Amino acid sequence: MCRVQRVWQWLVIAALTATACGQRPVASSEFEATRQRMVQRQLRERGIKDERVLAAMGKVPREEFVPADERGDAYEDGPLPIGYGQTISQPYIVAFMTEQLRPKRGDRVLEIGTGSGYQAAILGELVAEVYTIEIVEPLAKNAEATLQRLGYKNVHVKVGDGYKGWPEGAPFNAVIVTCAPDKVPQSLVEQLKDDGRMVIPVGEQFAQQLYVLEKKNGQLKESVTLPVRFVPMVREAEQR
Ligand code: SAH
């Protein structure tokens, strides 16, 4: 066998061995294709129209925000577990809530429920500054590390009870809540600027309505959009 043949034989064996052992890493280009398919099938075809939101969903690598053993399912049409009994939301819900928020480039946005940090990264692509609060410390630290690694310098993560909002950072142009309280926290209303919008699931455990609240001359105008299922907003005292 000549040298070239031997090298080829070695390469083929190495490739087959890696595949058989399940070691083949999923190339980022494969994720790119699945991400674009997700944007088309799960978002565009279901009525998400805001091109900036669609572009952000087509750019942020969701696979980086899920545990290693869930990466292959990163673009499936559903939520995924992220540990501590919490989940990263379904891509459609992330896109829908972001579109309802009507994010503008110069906005400062508050998010309650950082979770994996994925929703915060989407917002980081669309607005000036994102302030996000997570009550489970290891989740907050993990999200912060992921966001830093991916270069989201405009996303600020804090550990704490989001029910109280982030008074030092207020007021905000928009507030997005990704865990469900049984009523809208007054502190979040107070920290919302006039002409600002809040997107928030409200209701009983695992069966809520997604509200869009608009503040106009100090008054709230509310509309109900979708039935949703978020984890409940827990309070600091309950968590301890
Ligand atoms: N936005 C997240 C998904 C949210 S899951 C993402 O993109 O991955 C809901 C998160 O809200 C959970 O991580 C949960 O720990 C957190 N949470 C629940 N109650 C909270 C509270 N009072 N303050 C801050 N975070 C809270």
* Positions marked active-site: 89
Q: What is the pLDDT of residues 25-65, one digit of tens each?
A: 556 778 999 999 999 999 999 999 999 999 999 999 999 99
Distance 222 CA to ligand 1 centre (A): 23
* Token pair listed for 157: 């993560």
Assess whether the previous peptide bond of 171 is cis (omega < 30° from 0).
Answer: yes
What ligand 1 atom has the least distance to the C-alpha of 139?
Answer: 13
Helix ranges, 22-174 (H): 28-38, 51-59, 91-101, 118-126, 137-149
Please state whether beta strands 108-112 and 86-88 pair in parallel, antiparallel, or not at all (unpaired): unpaired
CATH code for the domain defined by 28-239: 3.40.50.150
At 44, the amino acid letter reads R
Q: What is the pLDDT of residues 116-153, one digit of tens each?
A: 999 999 999 999 999 999 999 999 999 999 999 999 99
Q: Label residue 22 by pLDDT band (50, 70, 90).
A: very low
Distance linking the first and last C-alpha atoms of the chain? 69
What ligand 1 atom has the least distance to the C-alpha of 143?
Answer: 8
Please tell me the predicted confidence (pLDDT) of residue 121. Answer: 98
Rounded average pLDDT over 106-115: 98
In angstroms, rounded to a whole number, what is the distance separating the alpha carbons of residues 90 and 97? 11
Whether 161 is in the pocket of ligand 1, judged by its Cβ within 6 Å, is yes
In angstroms, rounded to a whole number, what is the distance separating the alpha carbons of residues 114 and 141? 10
Tell me the whole-structure pTM to 2 decimals.
Answer: 0.89
Distances (CA, A) of 203 to 50, 106, 181, 188, 234: 28, 31, 7, 16, 13
Whether 181 is in the pocket of ligand 1, judged by its Cβ within 6 Å, is no
The domain locations on the chain are 28-239
* Token pair listed for 91: 């891509």
- Of 63, 94, 158, 231, the residue with max ligand 1 atoms within 8 A of its CB, to mutate for a pocket test, comes to 231
Reference 176, options 124, 113, 128; nearest CA is: 113
The closest residue, in CA terms, to atom 19 on ligand 1 is 233
